[in-house]
């Protein structure tokens, strides 16, 4: 249970001992065209204190230059090399599967084509060209024709690499179908799965660690099934911010491999002393700061709410996670997860 038993239990802040902060984008730095409150200031402060800042995205529709320009528009000091994309990780994977300079069938947008070209590969959109592999990433323009071409090519048994398998993607109007839905369509047609580069798989984390020569990175994310799971698989501590997709309700029911090291309101929490969690002798009660939560029978009970809603959430997560019990077998008060 990483949140409370890791080697970081006694650190003053989540940044103690960290040499690089690796930040997810959607839900952490921005929401669509708008920067998330306090994110720019916090990341700027971390950089000014000597930490390397990397921006990690599963989005395959934009180039690293376009992402860097978007981030710079908020006032962040960012260049393309500071951005690690799932197409970059996917092309590195591809280089181990096919010969240099091979012809690759692309399903996706400019970000994917750009990385393939930089990697020395040739690009096609048609299975009739006999490509050596298929690489697939999200783009709003991907439709039936592109998915069909991928299916035709993959029936020859050639390698298939996907940038990511996110089921949804956050956009201005809300959550929309992501690359995972498009990959699933091809999977249904060909009866096999791709090799995946992006979160929650490890290659994108390895790419980021290599890029920034990080020895002790901290990842910051907002989604349990991609950011938190991926960082845990990569063996790096991870902070979950409550500014994006997954909120208190999802954290309370998080699976063991989707539990973060730290729970933060927003990125200001990176600089704040992180409270220690204590348990009663029978582990039925957890206390964080002035907040205490216990499990009695099947009921999760707030013993002391305290004056910090995040500490209350941390205490509730701690006692539920420590119990090893499934959330559907517990009665959880709505006050712990209502917005």
Confidence of residue 8 (pLDDT cuts 50, 70, 90): very low
What size, in residues, is the chain?
Answer: 339
pLDDT digits (tens, 9 = 90+) for 269-319: 999 999 999 999 999 999 999 999 999 999 999 999 999 999 999 999 999
Whether 141 is in a domain gets the answer: yes
Tokens of 306: 């305290």
Same domain, 181 and 95: yes
- 102-106, 139-143, 236-240, 320-324: least confidently modelled range: 139-143
Same domain, 207 and 288: no
How many CB atoms lie under 10 A from the CB of residue 107? Answer: 30
Same domain, 316 and 243: no
240 pLDDT higher than 50? yes
Q: Which of 130, 161, 195 is the last residue of a domain?
A: 195
User: Residue 122 and residue 118: Cα distance in Å, rounded?
Assistant: 10
Whether 84 is in a domain gets the answer: no
> Is-contact 86 198, C-beta < 8 A?
yes
Q: 52-71 b/e with 16+ CB inside 10 Å = b?
A: bbbbbbbbbbbbbebbbebb
DSSP-derived 3-state class of residue 187: helix
| Predicted pLDDT at 30 | 95
| Predicted pLDDT at 105 | 98
Residues contacting 184, CB < 8 A, separation 6+: 165
Q: Reply yes or no on whether 26 is catalytic.
A: yes
- Maximum distance among all Cα pairs of the chain, rounded to whole angstroms: 67
Q: Which of 271, 291, 309 is the last residue of a domain?
A: 271
Whether 82 is in a domain gets the answer: no
Whether 77 is in a domain gets the answer: no
Q: Which domain holds residue 19?
A: 2-58+201-271
Domain tally, the chain: 3
| Predicted pLDDT at 207 | 96
7 pLDDT higher than 60? no
Same domain, 120 and 164: yes
Q: Taking the alpha carbons of 9, 84, 271, 222 in that order, is the dihedral positive or negative?
A: negative
User: Residue 200 and residue 246: Cα distance in Å, rounded?
Assistant: 15
Q: What is the CATH number of the domain that holds 50?
A: 3.40.50.1000
Q: Which of 164, 195, 226 is the last residue of a domain?
A: 195
User: Residue 291 and residue 59: Cα distance in Å, rounded?
Assistant: 38
The catalytic residue among 26, 114, 222, 246 is 26
For residue 262, what is the DSSP state? Answer: E
Same domain, 206 and 240: yes
> Is-contact 203 3, C-beta < 8 A?
no
Average pLDDT for the chain: 94
Whether 176 is in a domain gets the answer: yes
The catalytic residue among 19, 24, 96, 266 is 24
Higher pLDDT: 62 or 303? It is 303
């Amino acid at each position: 249970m990483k949140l409370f038993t890791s080697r970081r239990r006694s650190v003053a802040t989540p940044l103690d001992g960290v040499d690089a902060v690796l930040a997810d984008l959607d839900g952490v730095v921005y929401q669509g065209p708008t920067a998330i409150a306090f994110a720019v200031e916090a990341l700027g402060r971390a950089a000014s204190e000597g930490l390397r800042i990397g921006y990690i995205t599963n989005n395959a529709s934009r180039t690293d230059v376009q992402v860097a320009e978007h981030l710079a528009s908020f006032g962040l000091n960012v260049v393309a090399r500071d951005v690690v994309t799932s197409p970059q990780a996917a092309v590195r994977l591809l280089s181990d599967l096919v010969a240099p300079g091979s012809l690759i069938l692309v399903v996706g947008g400019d970000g994917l084509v750009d990385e393939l070209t930089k990697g020395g590969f040739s690009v096609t959109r048609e299975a009739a060209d006999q490509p050596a592999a298929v690489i697939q990433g999200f783009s709003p323009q991907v439709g039936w024709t592109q998915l069909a071409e991928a299916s035709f090519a993959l029936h020859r048994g050639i390698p298939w690499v996907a940038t990511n398998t996110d089921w949804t993607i956050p956009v201005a109007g809300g959550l929309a179908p992501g690359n995972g839905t498009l990959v699933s369509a091809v999977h249904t047609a060909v009866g096999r799965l791709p090799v995946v580069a992006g979160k929650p798989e490890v290659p994108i984390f390895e790419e980021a660690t290599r890029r920034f020569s990080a020895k002790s990175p901290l990842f910051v994310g907002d989604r349990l099934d991609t950011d938190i799971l991926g960082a845990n698989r990569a063996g790096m501590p991870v902070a979950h911010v409550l500014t994006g997709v997954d909120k208190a309700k999802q954290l309370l029911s998080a699976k063991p491999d989707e539990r973060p090291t730290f729970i933060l309101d927003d990125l200001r929490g990176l600089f704040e002393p992180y409270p220690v969690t204590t348990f009663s002798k029978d582990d039925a009660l957890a206390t964080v700061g002035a907040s205490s939560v216990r499990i009695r029978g099947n009921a999760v009970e707030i013993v002391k709410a305290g004056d910090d809603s995040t500490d209350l959430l941390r205490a509730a997560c701690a006692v539920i996670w420590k119990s090893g019990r499934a959330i559907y077998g517990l009665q959880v008060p709505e006050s712990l997860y209502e917005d």
